[in-house]
Amino acid sequence: MIATAPSKVTLDLPNICGKESEINAIVNHNEPIFLHQTDLNLNNIKSGFACALHMHQPTIPAGQNGALICNLQHMFEHSGDGDNHNASVFAWCYQRMGEFIPDLVAQGHSPRIMLDYSGNLLWGFQQMGRKDILDKLTKITCDPKYQPYVEWLGTMWSHTVAPSTPIPDLKLQIQAWQHHFAEIFGVEALKRVKGFSPPEMHLPNHPDTLYEYIKALKECGYRWLLVQEHSVERLDGSGIPTEDKYVPNKLIARNSKGETISIKALIKTQGSDTKLVAQMQPYHEAISRGRQKLGNMEVPCCVTQIADGENGGVMMNEFPNGYNPTWQNINGHGVVGFNGTEYIELLEAAGVKEEDYPTCQAMNQHKIWKKVNPDQATPEAVEKAIAELKATDHQFHMDGASWTNNLSWVHGYENVLEPMNKLSAMFHKKFDSLVASDPSVTQRQDYKEALLYNMLVQTSCFRYWGQGTWTDYARELYRRGENLVK
């Protein structure tokens, strides 16, 4: 039984809103991030690889008297349940890049890592008083000695999957993470966050959702997005050619009004498998690859992978013995480690132009545009085409695609999705007109608390483990949120 929190509780809220104009000014710039400090020269490189670690623990209403706590704290407090005995190992995983990177640099090596931490998890470190974790992350984030080797990726604050997130909340989730990251690591660190890692690698394929998603990303200063290989297709519906998976692509989104927008995308190959990063598969694959054509230029390719940074015995136990020796033995193959923004900046500094990138769109969209002339698109025509395709094509859906096709964050979770959408609608009905007339409303306690619960209900974990405790958590969070926005 989940404890119900008292109706009047003063929360120690995370920093998730209130400085939208200041954050916008910080992140929207065209300054190079890695170009002035990289030790790489494309002319000397045969191929490269880029590895990212995704870290997340949800916020759950399972503390004393139903208080909001991090699931990591719940693991520590209930060590006999399931695999909760791994809590201390998980905590080490969250901080260990703050140990590995300085050690490797001190040895004269040139490591690379991209980091993706959810807002829930960052807040959890603060709630638990885990200054040890935050201090080690701050060291590799803010010390100029380590900046060339570490790249942070932005994400949704509460680990919501974009295809089923209410469209008005996409930008709120993105901005909330930026607020929180800037509070912990500073605005200079936030200025360097230019790549985006979508939770569960989930890419929307509904034309309007994808368009608004990319629009929000670009408005929030992001230059590129990480995507799963089977979540995208060529504009004619064909699959992505193998060689195009190892260079940046141009992801194009067209909405139901025929408007288009695009963003650069780096493609993660293969499915969800922590061994890919734990055993440094990207490095070993890069050894077998070489330079390839991009436009009229020959450039080194880049094998890109992301994996959970803590989940499973492979990542907990094998990663250190896979990651660290790689950098100690990397010389001699013409293979190097990149970070995503670094790779793109080096390509463009060498003369690669936007029109040189191969183009792609979200999976299944070619079927819509076969039925609807993009130049004459209307919302009605697009929805009619979608309805016809759903009725006649059993392979067609608008649920988006993630890093595995055997799970759905929609089907079977109507009891979570319906309240989630209802709470979002209530939140925007209460606050949108107020914020439009007075932007300082986002600094108010009642706005921040309502936004927090609106985002928490959207956490993907409540639609991953099946019905039971996790869906009960979602319903309790909804109940509290509803009380705030009635």
| CATH number of the domain to which 266 belongs | 3.20.110.20
Are residues 207 and 310 part of one domain? yes
What integer is the mean pLDDT of 325-346? 92
Residue 410 has pLDDT above 70, yes or no: no
Are residues 84 and 154 part of one domain? yes
Are residues 483 and 357 part of one domain? no
What integer is the mean pLDDT of 34-45? 94
What integer is the mean pLDDT of 373-381? 93
* Number of CB atoms found within 10 A of residue 441's CB: 17
Instruction: Give pLDDT tens digits for 456-474.
Output: 999 988 876 556 788 899 9
pLDDT of residue 394: 87
Q: Tell me if 403 is assigned to some domain.
A: no
Residue 7 has pLDDT above 90, yes or no: no
Mean pLDDT of the chain: 92
pLDDT of residue 1: 45
Are residues 124 and 50 part of one domain? yes
Q: Tell me if 7 is assigned to some domain.
A: no
Residue 11 has pLDDT above 70, yes or no: no
What integer is the mean pLDDT of 202-229? 96
pLDDT classification of 186: cutoffs 50, 70, 90: very high
Q: Above pLDDT 90, what percent of the chain?
A: 82
pLDDT of residue 331: 74
Q: Tell me if 390 is assigned to some domain.
A: no
- Residues paired with residue 303 on neighbouring β-strands, in sequence order: 49
Are residues 185 and 125 part of one domain? yes
What integer is the mean pLDDT of 258-270? 95
- Of 297, 329, 362, which closes a domain? 362
Residue 175 has pLDDT above 70, yes or no: yes
Are residues 220 and 116 part of one domain? yes
Are residues 418 and 336 part of one domain? no
pLDDT classification of 9: cutoffs 50, 70, 90: very low
Are residues 443 and 338 part of one domain? no
pLDDT classification of 114: cutoffs 50, 70, 90: very high
Higher-pLDDT residue of 396, 245:
245
pLDDT classification of 413: cutoffs 50, 70, 90: very low
Are residues 252 and 111 part of one domain? yes
Q: Tell me if 258 is assigned to some domain.
A: yes
- Of 329, 362, 395, which closes a domain? 362
CB hemisphere CA count around 249 (13 angstroms): 30
Are residues 162 and 47 part of one domain? yes
Domain count across the chain: 2
What integer is the mean pLDDT of 29-56? 96
pLDDT of residue 3: 53
What integer is the mean pLDDT of 417-444? 93
What integer is the mean pLDDT of 280-296? 94
pLDDT classification of 143: cutoffs 50, 70, 90: very high
What integer is the mean pLDDT of 46-57? 97
Q: Tell me if 421 is assigned to some domain.
A: yes
Are residues 193 and 54 part of one domain? yes
Q: Which domain holds residue 128?
A: 25-362
Exposure string of 226-240, with b = 16+ CB inside 10 Å and e = fewer, is bbbbbbbbbeeeeeb
pLDDT classification of 411: cutoffs 50, 70, 90: very low
What integer is the mean pLDDT of 378-392? 94
Q: Tell me if 452 is assigned to some domain.
A: yes
pLDDT of residue 10: 44
What integer is the mean pLDDT of 341-346? 98
Q: Above pLDDT 70, what percent of the chain?
A: 93
Instruction: Give pLDDT tens digits for 60-102.
Output: 999 999 999 999 999 999 988 888 899 999 999 999 999 999 9
pTM of the model: 0.94
Are residues 353 and 431 part of one domain? no
Q: Tell me if 44 is assigned to some domain.
A: yes
Q: Tell me if 79 is assigned to some domain.
A: yes
What integer is the mean pLDDT of 221-244? 95
pLDDT of residue 4: 52
Residue 198 has pLDDT above 70, yes or no: yes
What integer is the mean pLDDT of 347-367? 96
